[in-house]
Amino acid sequence: MKPSEPRRSPRPVPAHLRDLLAAMTLDEKIGQLVMVSLGAETIVTGPKAAEEPSVDDVRTGRVGSVLNLVGRDRIHALQRIAVEESRLKIPLLFGLDVIHGYRTAFPVPLAETAAFRPDLWEATARAAAEEATDDGLALTFAPMLDLARDPRWGRIVEGPGEDPTVGRAYARAKVAGFQGRDLARPDGLAATAKHFFAYGAATAGRDYASVDLSERTLHEFYLPAFEAAVKAGCLAIMPAFCDIAGRPVSGDRGWLTELVRDAWGFDGIYVSDYDAIGELVAHGVAADMAEAAARALHAGLDVDMMSRAYPDGLKPALERGLVSQTDLDAAVLRVLAAKDRLGLFEAPYGRGDPSRPPARSRDARRALARDVAAASMVLLKNDAAVLPLGPRGGPIALIGPVAARPAEMIGSWFCLGDQEEIVSLADGLAAAFPERPLTVVEGCDLDGDDDAGIPAAVAAAEAADVVLLAIGEPAGMTGEAASRAHPRLTGRQRDLARAVLATGRPVVVLLSCGRPLVEPEIFEKAAAVLVVWGPGSEGGHAVADLVCGRRSPSGRLPVSWPAAIGQIPVFYGERPSGRPFAEGEHFTTRYLDVANEPAFPFGAGLGYAPFDLSDPVVDRPRFRPGEALRLTATLANRGSVEAATTVFLFVRDRVASTARPLLELARFRTETLAPGESRELVFTLGDDDFALLGPDLAPRLEPGAFDLSLGFSADRRALRTVTVELVDADAAIV
């Protein structure tokens, strides 16, 4: 929040909620802060509870929210107990991890980010919200906004990558898509911004591990997406499991209340991660459940998900004077207010009303899934224009353990996909090439030591004109609790790839993954590499659309792709240091055994048409605070097919009171142009784009020269740059 902005007034609490609070017993108040899993027999999102909750807990008011229960009839049956059989008739709040679709699976979030299309990000969230609310749900534990620069961390797959500007845009789009025009409408799905915050910087990429970053890094890189979600009106925030420099976020009042509630104006609810409040004991900041409950409640954490800290610890905490009744009542009112904003008091069965027709047809949802999947895939190599393949010609060999496994298309963290409706690579490619013989050979397992199928794969490759090599990382090895010290191909896939590449046939790698995989040999020897990620329900058709040339690849990397594991973490926004890299200089920041640069920079990606970008032009060389600066450039499609590309605008403050990153992303735009078409791009920049955080971490403007660089990726050697000067700033507060 900028210091000059007025603080937003708290949303008034309706009188009927205060009356309800006054009528509640202590047990009923605590119950409103308790979230339990009542559907874990089919959906598992955390460790098994020592004491299983029951329906009777709902009837007696000891439960306020439920996760993991799916199915309209089951949800309505439990809601009926809450609103018809409990003493105070308070409705339940039902939530689920609707991460990248509900029944229709869209690409995993990291993949979807690669489209660099906020309109698509919002559209998929809206479609998922429609399906989830049709089934009775009111809350999703998404979007995940953790900035991540370490592909060893399995949950990199769930977020928007390495850049805070992209994270802000992603947050706004997802909150708008999930929540819709009015949260009280039957299709309003409350968004939960998670995991607040810096969870993606876990030590050594190891899930749940401690985080230790400077305050400046936290404020410049890891907080902006969450602030954007708050300003977009997200109803809920989930604090991270981790501690930051010894401060477990779930029990930290400075972060949860003083920053987010008081400074940013957040007026929704905090929902803990699974068992996170109880884990304050393991962190070593609470001696028992009473201390853990008191610490979290005083910090401002409202809802305890599955830890037993609040149901078992809050009473003794109150008796021991560890927390106040005022803190308890404030949290209960926030939970009641959230339910009221969702319309649950007026229409507890409004979500999942069978008389309400679906917002869109199944065909429309599938078409959206196919479109977004194709837009998300990233072509990283295409030697001799081996892609696209023509509709007629010799045999195609589709080889690899991902080739005919539909489940690998769906990716990680997908709770309720229509498993029987996922299109495999084999099915999609067979439909796209009806006039070319297609041979499908697995070759080896995704994981394990069985390599008996490699000779058959080699024979199929030798008999084909072109090989499509479908390899990657098992979907089950990405996501939560899926950290990997060696983010590479699993099992005997590397042996399979070497054997197929040795045949001399042109090999197109179709790489399925939830993170960058470090495989320099395969990237070097393959003719083409298409990163398909976890593309979702229509993955096979979407891959085929690109392979056959029905559309041009347009995805771009939202993360830097390392050339070696020893480079990790690698990202484009580094500061220069006092000894920036200089070719031929020994005493400079560098590796002895590998280049500093990643294999592919942030923003990298190819299509089937070359684009030109003219030198940027600004409307004035000098500008002052409060003025708008316009930068224009011309984008041209020099190819023979319609194609899309993303243009990135970076800013660099040459001399400042604190050392600035070599590049900072200010804007990005994805444009689709017809063959031979040119289009003028206009970027308007204001004070925020030139501000930095001062010594007090408040935004400020400082006079001096700024480089504005425009290009198709964060490769500094290929950027087109113009310099402007900010005058009369005098370290003005923004």
Active-site residue numbers? 273
What single letter denotes the amino acid at residue 11? R
Residue 700 near residue 637 (C-beta atoms within 8 A): no
Give yes or no for a cis peptide into 143 (omega within 30° of 0): yes
SS3 490: coil
Query: What are the two backbone dihedrals, phi and then psi, of residue 83, each rounded to the nearest 5 degrees?
Result: -95, -10
Residue 125 near residue 117 (C-beta atoms within 8 A): no
Q: What letter would DSSP give residue 46?
A: S
Q: Which two tokens stand for residue 133?
A: 């609310």
Residue 554 near residue 605 (C-beta atoms within 8 A): yes
Name, in order, each residue with C-beta under 8 angstroms of 361's C-beta and a sequence gap of 6 or more.
none
Q: DSSP string covering 380-444, please?
A: EEEGGG-PSPPSSSS-EEEESTTTT-THHHH-SS-SS--GGGPPPHHHHHHHH-TTS-EEEE--S
Q: Which 3-state string (H, E, C) describes 539-608?
A: HHHHHHHHHCCCCCCCCCCCCCECCCHHHCCCCCCCCCCCCCCCCCCCCCCCCCCCCCCCCECCCCCECC
Q: What is the CA radius of gyration of the chain?
A: 26
SS3 370: helix
Cβ atoms within 10 Å, residue 624: 15
Residue 457 near residue 496 (C-beta atoms within 8 A): yes
**Closest to 157 in 3D by CA, of 470, 447, 481:** 481
Cβ atoms within 10 Å, residue 19: 9
Strand partners, 725: 622, 705
SS3 648: strand
Query: What are the two backbone dihedrals, phi and then psi, of residue 560, each rounded to the nearest 5 degrees?
Result: -75, 140
**Alpha helices (runs of H) in 93-160, residue ranges in sequence order:** 109-113, 118-134
**Closest to 371 in 3D by CA, of 555, 179, 510:** 555
Q: DSSP string covering 139-207, please?
A: EE---B------TTSGGGGGS--S-HHHHHHHHHHHHHHHH-S-TTSTT--B-EEEEETTGGG-GGG-T
Strand partners, 270: 237
Strand partners, 733: 700
Distances (CA, A) of 201 to 196, 205, 447: 12, 7, 28
Nearest-angstrom CA–CA distance, 103 and 135: 10
